[in-house]
Structure 1
Amino acid sequence: MKSSPGARSWIAAGVRHELLTRALPALRHDMAAPVSVIRMALLMLKRQVGAAAIDGAACAERVALIDNQVSELVAAIRSLRDWELATTDDGITRSALVAQCVSLMRAAFDLHGVTLDAEAFPEPKDDEPRWPAGAALRYLFLGALGYLHDGVDEAGTIRVEPLGADGLKLSAVLRDTASTNPVLDAHRAPRALAIDAIALQNLAEDMGYTVALEGDSVRFKLATG
């Protein structure tokens, strides 16, 4: 039975949920790290306030640290809105897209013995062209990473490269099988919710993008259509 447009949209929504689930450890870390610093700073502040001679400068330093960490925590919480497709965003540059997604997944991929190589991209700059629908592009990029990670068994590196002025190419580079680590291979067992070609195509089409899959590589433009 051929799936209906509504069913395909549900499939795409399920893929987005899976991708967000994979990114959650990094997002949780971004929110938990400031909380740990705040707790330590409050402990030190209590000790200083309870001392016989209060060091005003030291207390002010702790208060400034807490204020800074609260700002970091608020920014991390607000960043959750970046995952909402229904929210109109300011778009995103290509370099920023690569930097954000690689940062989100680098630790998880390292644990699986897969290196993310984005050396072809410089540090993000404000004067780069911005592409609309930053949330959709983030899901699409993470979907491409997941497709190569889940589908190419012997992938040792996933390389991210620019494709012209308006696209991206992600390719899997096979690792040396002689250096295979059985512990890492245990983490690369087939996933029940693997991002396969059908899942990635459904995701892209639902959001209005076109992807070209070639087994060990993924290419897509940053503009819809």
Structure 2
Amino acid sequence: MKASPGARSWIAAGVRHELLIRALPALRHDMTGPVSVMRMGLLMLRRQVAAPAIDPVVCEQRVTLIDSQIAELVNAVRSLRDWELAIDDEGITRHALVAQGVGLMRAAFELQGIHLQVDGALQAPIDGAPKWPSSAALRYLFLGALGYLHDTPTDVGTVTVSADGDDALWLRVTAGEADGADAMAGAHRAPRMLAIDAIALQSLADDLGYALAIERDAVRLTLAAA
């Protein structure tokens, strides 16, 4: 039976949910990090206030530290809105898209002994680089491509991200034995029933309105909507 448009939308929504779950450890770290620093700052401030002689300079330093961590936490919470497809945004550069996606998934890949490598042309921002609209959609697609390359081959050693012209990205697998895999790596890998395969990735691209070229060991992502 051919899937209805509603069913295809549910499939794509399921893929997005799986990608968000995979990115959640990194997002959670961005939120809990400032909280830990604030707790330590409050402890030091409490000790300073309880001391026989209060040093106002030290107290001011602690307050400044706590204030900066609150700002980081607020920014991290606000960033959750960036995952909503309906939110209008100013767009995202290709460099920023790659930096965000790789930053979110590097730890999980490294636990599997899989290296994420970014081509030199994408490692530094370029002044005046175009911003592509629908950053949330592009983020899901980029993470989806990474997830597909992570889940599909069995001999992934390195995933390389490189530019293709001015408006596309290539993500390619270099075969090789994954080295240094952590003993707990399986906890960070999706069960096979939730693995992102070519059908799941294509369903996501179709639902978001983007063109992908999917090969067994590579994915080409066009940044402009189809």
TM-score over 0.5 (shorter chain) = yes
Aligned residue number for residue 78 of structure 1: 78
Is the CA contact 2:198–2:214 (under 8 Å) kept in the aligned structure 1? yes
Please name the residue that 1:199 is paired with. Answer: 200
* Residues 39-92 of structure 1 deviation map (CA, whole Å, 9 limit, x = unaligned): 000000011011111000000000000000000000000000010001111110
Q: Matched residues in 1 for 2:29 and 2:123: separation?
A: 25
| Greater shift in the superposed pair: 54-63 or 122-131 | 122-131
Mapped to 1, the partners of 2:92 and 2:194 lie a distance apart of 28
CA displacement at 1:135 relative to structure 2: 0.2
Match of 1:58 in 2: 58
- Asked if the contact 2:156/2:177 (under 8 Å) is kept, the reply is no
Shift of 1:191: 2.3
| Structure 1 position 212 matched with structure 2 position 188 | no
Alignment partner, residue 48 of structure 1: 48
Q: Distance in 1 between matches of 2:185 and 2:33?
A: 30
CA distance in 1, matches of 2:49, 2:152: 57
1:166 counterpart = 2:140? no
Amino acid at match of 1:205: D
Give how far 1:123 is off: 2.1
Give the counterpart letter for 1:165 in structure 2: D
| DSSP-derived class of the 1:131 partner | coil
Counterpart position of 2:95: 95
Counting only pairs closer than 5 Å after superposition, residues 126-165 of structure 1 correspond to structure 2 as 127-165=128-166
- Residue pair 2:202, 2:212 contacting (<8 A) in 1 also: yes
Between Structure 1 and Structure 2, how many residues are aligned?
Answer: 224
**8 Å contact kept, 1:113–1:184:** no
Percent sequence identity is 62
- Aligned counterpart, 1:12: 12
Matching of residues 177-188 of structure 1 within 5 Å: 183=183
1:11 maps to amino acid: I
Report if aligned partners of 2:210, 2:222 keep a CA contact under 8 Å in 1. yes
Contact 2:94 2:131 in 1 (8 A): yes
Name the amino acid aligned to 1:150: D
Q: Which runs of 5+ in 1 are unaligned?
A: none
Answer yes or no: is the 8 Å Cα contact 1:150–1:195 preserved in 2: yes
Shift of 1:128: 1.2
Shift of 1:119: 3.4
Q: Which residue is 2:28 aligned to?
A: 28
Q: What is the match of residue 105 of structure 2?
A: 105
Change (3 A) 1:184 1:70: closer
User: Matches of 1:192 and 1:129 in 2, distance apart?
Assistant: 38
Which SS does the other structure have where 2:79 is aligned?
Answer: helix
